[in-house]
Amino acid sequence: RKEVEQDPGPFNVPEGATVAFNCTYSNSASQSFFWYRQDCRKEPKLLMSVYSSGNEDGRFTAQLNRASQYISLLIRDSKLSDSATYLCAVNSLKGYSTLTFGKGTMLLVSP
């Protein structure tokens, strides 16, 4: 089983729609979780951290479900500019501290 798994999509949604992505992780001891956004042929950029109690940043809401070992990202009122690949990242527990990334979920928002 891969350490971090995501549905690659693409998710095709109209402007204004609400869309949600999930990301599952295999290591129950993982402590840090993040969502990154990556535009085509660009570097990943931190979108938001995911806290145990859930957190919101404008139209974006992130949730953590430790029991089922997944994190989610909800985007409300989708904009054309939200079209991108969303990468889930979980801290790696291999004796060194860094992030393990999922393949990402592609979102395409259409007019």
To another protein, the closest distance from the beta carbon of 92 in angstroms equals: 8
Say whether residue 103 binds another protein (CB under 8 A).
yes
To another protein, the closest distance from the beta carbon of 77 in angstroms equals: 25
Tell which one of 29, 41, 68, 111 touches another protein (CB under 8 A).
Answer: 41
9-28 residues near another protein, rule: CB under 8 A:
none
Tell which one of 24, 101, 105, 107 touches another protein (CB under 8 A).
Answer: 101
State how far Cα 35 lies from the chain centre: 4
